[in-house]
Amino acid sequence: MTKNSKTIEIDLEIYRLIEINRSSFDETEADILRRLLDLPPLKKQESEKRGMSLRNGVVLPDGTLLRGTHNGAEHQAEVRGGWILLNGKRYKSPSGAATAIRGYSEDGWRFLKVKRPQDSEWILLDQLRNKETIIRKRRLSEEELSEFD
């Protein structure tokens, strides 16, 4: 709840109207009402940024899909609001989600494939980590070289 908010009681008919107009599970009741009343959306605070930042500069934006296969069954998860959602549970790391799929400790970087909203194909999460590391090293090398110009 934001600093300038107030709790109000509503009847079941209004509650149903709000739920019928819900466009996603991430949308709050206040967001729905603002949209229905033609009010501009509130700006999200810095702490409410969406997506997930991982080590090595890897960022998984909201809507990123993750999948892993165990015993012939494919399990799919999605990044939402800084969490990995898998089978109705939230995980704060790829390894946590991978461990839940496998039933024993598993390295999510090497087990899970990802497909970010901007991607056309699934890739192993570890490939993103390696790509970001190479980009960062290249950037550092260019910066170091520019010091000698």
pLDDT of residue 113: 96
Q: What is the pLDDT of residues 30-75, one digit of tens each?
A: 888 988 999 988 775 443 457 888 877 788 999 999 999 999 999 9
Which among 60, 40, 42 has a CA at the least distance from the CA of 51?
60
Q: Return the ∠ at Cα 17 (arms to 16 and 23), rounded to 5°.
A: 100
pLDDT in tens, 125-148: 998 887 655 555 565 555 655 554
- Provide mean pLDDT across the span 92-98: 95
Which parts of 5-124 fold into alpha helices (H)?
12-20, 29-36, 94-102, 108-111
Q: In degrees, to the nearest 5, what angle opens at C-alpha 80 toward C-alphas 6 and 22? A: 50
